[in-house]
């Protein structure tokens, strides 16, 4: 490790700005060094920013980088709403899986056949078999 590398901060705040050509610039805020990176995509700008941080700070490879993306409030609100909906949907799907498995196992214990369980739950016989075996 070079003597020029400074002790890390643990958390960095990065501001990402989309340029007219669709590329992105990234800037780390709140540090004495002006740290900038560039990328043709947001993903590439994030990757490049971490690489540039590694030139300055000893913890950059593992540090948390809090993203602040400069887009209109309307777009940001839409993205946040979609993110919330996605998390809610994942939770519902997980709960649905638990309930389906419970129902399949209960119906099997009560003597129902795979074909009847599939018909009752609106699933394929193959899916009922997978659930009963605990696969997927």
Chain segment 93-124, per-residue pLDDT in tens: 999 999 999 999 999 999 999 999 999 999 99
Sign (positive or negative) of CA dihedral 69, 72, 73, 77: negative
Residue-wise pLDDT tens digits, 13-48: 999 999 999 999 999 977 776 889 999 999 999 999
Whole-model pTM: value is 0.61
Q: Please name which of 14, 38, 42 lies closest in space to residue 27, comparing C-alpha atoms.
A: 14
């Amino acid at each position: 490790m070079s003597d020029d590398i400074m002790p890390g901060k643990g958390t960095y705040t990065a501001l990402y700005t989309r340029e007219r050509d669709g590329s992105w610039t990234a800037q780390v805020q709140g540090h004495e060094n002006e740290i900038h990176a560039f990328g043709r995509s947001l993903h590439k700008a994030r990757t490049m920013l971490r690489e540039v941080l590694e030139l300055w700070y000893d913890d950059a490879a593992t540090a948390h980088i809090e993203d602040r993306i400069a887009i209109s409030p309307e777009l940001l609100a839409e993205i946040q709403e979609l993110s919330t909906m996605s998390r809610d949907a994942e939770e519902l799907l997980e709960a649905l899986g638990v309930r389906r498995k419970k129902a399949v196992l209960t119906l099997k214990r009560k003597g129902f056949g795979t074909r009847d369980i599939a018909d009752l739950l609106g699933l394929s016989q193959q899916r009922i078999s997978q659930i009963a075996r605990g696969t997927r």
